[in-house]
Amino acid sequence: MSAGETTSLYVRVTPNDRPSEWTNRGMDEKGREVFLLKLAAPPVDGKANEALICFIAETLKCPRSQVKLLRGEGSRQKVLEVPIQALSNLPV
């Protein structure tokens, strides 16, 4: 496995809900694993998306620049691109 390999991380976000934390994991309608989390940031002007990227990077212990929002900018369901080796740091 090379150091630059990435994978998709599926999350369902509840914005404006304190504190920011991982709550659980489940499956989406297509059978993919989805991580559920709460974010303290409001869903206004991209603040929740920015907070999500920072929260994921901090949790995975990887640089913020390695976490990219691929889909779901205006949705609670999001797909992020993250370093595959960092997934072992997921808490749930």
Per-residue pLDDT tens digits for 9-35: 999 999 999 999 999 999 988 999 999
Place of tokens 């991580």: 35
Predicted TM-score (pTM) of this structure: 0.90
Domain ranges for the chain, please list them.
6-84
CATH number corresponding to 6-84? 3.30.1200.10
How do beta strands 68-71 and 6-14 pair? Answer: unpaired
Show the tokens assigned to 32.
């993919």
pLDDT at 1 over 60: no
Three-point CA angle 13, 16, 18, nearest 5°: 95
What sections of the chain are H helices per DSSP? 47-60
